[in-house]
Structure 1
Amino acid sequence: MPHVRAHTLDGTRGELAVREWPHPAPRFLALLAHGYGEHAGRYDALAAVLTGHGGAVYAPDHMGHGRSAGERVLIEDFEDVVTDLHAVAELAGAARPGLPLVLVGHSMGGLIAARYAQRYGARLRALILSGPVIGAWELPGRLLALPRIPDTPVSPSALSRDPEVGAAYAADPLVWHGPMKRPTLQAFVRALDAVAEGGAVPGLPLLWLHGDDDRLVPLPGSRIGVERLSGGDLTERIFHGARHEVFHETVKDEAFAETVRFLDRVLPR
């Protein structure tokens, strides 16, 4: 497991906990945006791959998640989360000025990363989306139509075919195991619309990774958003039988290898 440093930033809605997986002489910087209800600490394995390939890696716990401040899983405006992520990018850039920046977003983090690319794309060298919540995602609308949000947490078995992943997720005290909250669902709807209206990000290489058995964020809906966001340089890899978290799946080594190949193509030597 790579060494980790902890930082605390002033976020838009309170203190923001940030993890750094350092590299003594990095050739690029990587930002990681985690998914709904989880936290950056679940990405040690991906960070190890990125640091092993020359990256210095930074990842916040989004507001209301992990060790960051705020009511649990409450996000009222995803624009604030994007602003927080940019503060982390500035932290990384101040420590290592001039290095190319790569952004990796998973699930809800894919939504945040897509909007980040639309707002700050000139700063990015590459974008990697894993099971991203963009395009046509029906869950928020279905839940908002109900008079009461059901107390149905994310099923650990929906994440990966590896039972150890589900067991670790279920036992993790920093993971939210309760229901979704109405203001967060409303914010999802607005953010999905914002990304759709924001259009493509020309000139930004995009890698899209997705499992074709993803029942949390179904592949066809994400494809609509990915193709709308792509400025023409799109690489996709769909993993047969994989569920929502390809970086924690039984095919994780293939997902890591695809990520490294993509970085080798788009980053300067």
Structure 2
Amino acid sequence: MPYFDCARGRLHYRRWPVDGAVASMVLLPGTGQHSGHYHRFAAALRPAGIELWALDTAGQGLSEGDPAAPGTIAELAVDANGLLNLVRAESDTAPVLMGHSLGAVTALAVAAADPSDLRGLVLCGTPRRATEFAPHPGPAVLAVHGVDDRRAPIDAVRLWTARHQSVDLREYADAGHDLLHEPVQHRVSADIAQWVLTTAR
């Protein structure tokens, strides 16, 4: 199984390879989730030629660490960059970084620190605290969000995206926080794939 070492222990990740991939995406899951939850998303991206890599956050899945204390945002950003560096070593193009919930906060922190090596940024179920990070003009940003999200109400994201015209917000009616595991998952996956192929550079 694939692992890499970081300051806080060994972190596990999964890769769903695609022959002749046109883009690579790195996914940072939310709290309580791990890379094994995203095989359907990887299968949905495959026809578009998008290869998915997904990280097990410290303490989740097969990664070492305390499940109750995944780390500070700064520590999580370092972990994310560890996987991004592996992807960059395998790919000819810069990766797209995607984060769900806590992963969205981490992804924005990574992009804010150094946007130059990202092809694009996809945010899913973005919590209010993530809106403290303004999107950098470097990578294009897509935000996908359920209208009925109770964990991260959409109003904060609407206000945030209204202030930052560089963010493309897609709203999904009758959908909650975990878009990639809800009935709308196929439409969300298709929208993300199309956006990566037509917008992310």
Q: Give TM-score, length-normalised by structure 1.
A: 0.70
Contact 1:31 1:104 in 2 (8 A): yes
Question: Match for residue 237 of structure 1?
Answer: 170
Q: Structure 1 or 2: larger strand share? A: 2
What do the CA deviations read for 1:188-243 (whole angstroms, capped 9, x no partner)?
A: xxxx5xx62x5330142111111111111111123344455x4x322111111111
Is 1:208 the counterpart of 2:143? The answer is: yes
Contact 2:44 2:186 in 1 (8 A): no
Paired AA for residue 19 in structure 2: P
For residues 79-90 of structure 1, the aligned pairs below 5 Å read 79-90=74-85
Structure 2 unaligned runs (5+)?
Answer: none
Count of equivalent residues: 201
Bigger Cα Rg = 1
Paired AA for residue 38 in structure 2: Y
Q: Give TM-score, length-normalised by structure 2.
A: 0.91
- SS in structure 1 of the partner of residue 142 of structure 2: strand
Identity of aligned residues (%): 28
Question: Match for residue 35 of structure 1?
Answer: 30
Paired AA for residue 33 in structure 1: L
How far, CA to CA, are the matches of 1:132 and 1:49 in structure 2? 22
For residues 58-69 of structure 1, the aligned pairs below 5 Å read 58-69=53-64
What do the CA deviations read for 1:27-80 (whole angstroms, capped 9, x no partner)?
A: 111100100111111111111122321122211101111110111131341211
For residues 112-127 of structure 1, the aligned pairs below 5 Å read 112-127=106-121
Is 1:220 the counterpart of 2:155? The answer is: yes
Superposition CA RMSD, Å: 1.8
Contact 2:6 2:79 in 1 (8 A): yes
1:261 is displaced (CA, Å) by 2.1
Is 1:57 the counterpart of 2:64? The answer is: no
Contact 1:40 1:61 in 2 (8 A): yes
Question: Match for residue 171 of structure 1?
Answer: none
- SS in structure 2 of the partner of residue 255 of structure 1: helix
Paired AA for residue 44 in structure 1: H
